[in-house]
Amino acid sequence: MKWLEQYPKEVKGFLVASLVASAGGSLMWPLTTMYVFDELGRSMQDAGFVILIQSMGGIAGQLLGGAMYHRIGVKKLIVGSLLLNALGLFTLPFINGLWGLFIAMMGFIGFCNAVSMPAIQAFIGFRFADRRGELFNVIYVANNIGVALGTAMSGFLAEISYHLSFVLNGVTSFGFAIFFLSYLTKLDGPGVPEQSHHPQPKTPLPAGPGAWALLGNTRIYLFMGLGSLFLWFGNSIWNTGVSPFIISEGMSKTAYGYLWTLNGILIFAAQPLTNAIKRWFARTESSQMTVSALFYLSAYLVIVAMHSYPGMVLAMVLATLGEMLISPAIPAFISERAGHAAPFYIGVTGGMGAVGRVIGPYAMGTMYDGGGLTPVAWLAAGVAVLSCLSFMVHARLSKNSSLNHNLHDKNARQADASSPH
């Protein structure tokens, strides 16, 4: 791929490893509900409870991963969490008859997988500070290529064995851990040029401001986190609104799969369009978040107006454009504004967004049972409006950035003073 040629060798290696890891992770997600219902013989309510426990573990992992980044060191945090995630996945085939232990292990897997997320994003922001926004977007694209590949493989593997999917997911997580161990060990070696405006800790740094003090600086994260929460709440419509609607209308189940195939294709093919949107009227990360919420809102209004499959296709196009704008924007904004405290704030906003993913399916599922797709679509549109308003408040606060830059400079000075020379 020619677009890879412009990046250093270490970036290319990171992109390939990230793609493989995301492919492995996506093997499992489409199969969890089917595994609980089909293989374990449990009810759909039990399957939903497993997803809830896994999501709750993910929220805790996001928060802890961001808070512990500088306390225990990036290598131990990322490599350790990925190895534990692999260990949890490897144990699943041996405990499928132990329901309580299976639930606990799924929560553990959700936790360990999420711990590494803010750490990896913060590492990118620190290591490649001069190109962080661009790299967040490129890695987002690479991850989604991996998701498309993994999802395509999942059905085939499920026909052979559910357990095979779990084991292969564990293998990719283990491989990603080994990659990071080698990668970060090389960065610890002598003669490696520093490419970051913020020193990358090679050993744990002394604690900076406490969590409560960091949480007090609400203009960095609060309204951005609320906007993310509302956004991912509304996005639950695809699983708890569109999916049952397609089935109830007598359409093929593959029609729903085609929507996500379209999503994966657009994430790669529509990059020129989103780049043009950023150039024309969404030049800052804050404005990209607001425009993203508007795209999501327009998608849900299309679903309200067009109860048909072409309407679902158009809505998916609009929602995907919104996804492409916001996913790289949040970590890029935090890395730019929060300095040394970026891992903490990435974890907090990720945790807030995950709350929306947890409560959205239950709320929308309840509304769908009561009235079908229409009330679900209106609810999604309503929370998209709340998301847009939250991002607008965030953009307004971020313009008055003196406090943010004061925090940025203060934390940078603390990192300089604490970092080994």
Q: Residue 417, exposed/middle/buried by CB under 10 A (0-12, 13-18, 19+)?
A: exposed
142 touches 15 (CB < 8 A):
yes
What average pLDDT does the structure give for the chain?
A: 80
DSSP state of 238: I
pLDDT tens by residue, 65-109: 888 887 888 888 889 999 999 999 999 888 877 889 999 999 999
Angle at 149 (CA atoms; ends 145, 154), nearest 5 degrees: 145
What mean pLDDT do residues 372-399 have?
93
CA 349 to chain centre: 11
What pLDDT is stored for residue 45 in this prediction? 65
What average pLDDT does the segment 31-45 reach?
A: 73
Q: How many CB atoms lie within 10 A of CB 247?
A: 13
Residue 37 is classified by DSSP as I
Give the CATH architecture of domain 213-404.
Answer: Up-down Bundle (1.20)
Instruction: Tell me the average pLDDT across 346-356.
Output: 89
Nearest Cα to Cα of residue 14 among 202, 140, 148, 155:
140
DSSP 4: G
Question: Beta-carbon neighbour count of residue 28 at 10 Å?
Answer: 24
pLDDT at residue 370, rounded to an integer:
83
Q: List strand residue ranges (DSSP E) for 142-230, in order.
A: none
Distance CA 42, CA 39 (A): 8
- Angstrom distance (rounded) from CA 35 to CA 214: 41
Query: Contact at 8 Å (CB) between 285 and 331?
Result: no
Q: Taking a C-beta distance cutoff of 8 angstroms, is the pair 148, 216 a contact?
A: no
* R_g over Cα of the chain: 21
Query: Where are the domain boundaries for CATH 1.20.1250.20 in the chain?
Result: 9-187, 213-404
Instruction: Of 147-151, 312-316, 355-359, give the lowest mean pLDDT range.
Output: 147-151
Q: Domain 9-187 adopts which CATH fold?
A: Growth Hormone; Chain: A; (1.20.1250)
**Residue 176 amino acid letter:** F
pLDDT single digits (tens) 190-201: 444 444 444 444
Per-residue confidence (pLDDT) for residue 139, from 0 to 100: 80
* Cβ–Cβ < 8 Å for 419, 199: yes
Contact 129, 196 (CB under 8 A): yes
Cβ neighbours for 96, distance < 8 A, ≥ 6 positions apart: 39, 40, 102, 163
Global pTM value: 0.77
Distance between CA 222 and CA 224 in Å, rounded? 5
DSSP 91-113: HGGG-TT-HHHHHHHHHHHHHHH
pLDDT tens for residues 230-279? 999 999 888 778 888 887 888 876 787 788 788 888 988 898 999 999 99
What is the rounded CA–CA span in Å between residue 289 and residue 228? 9
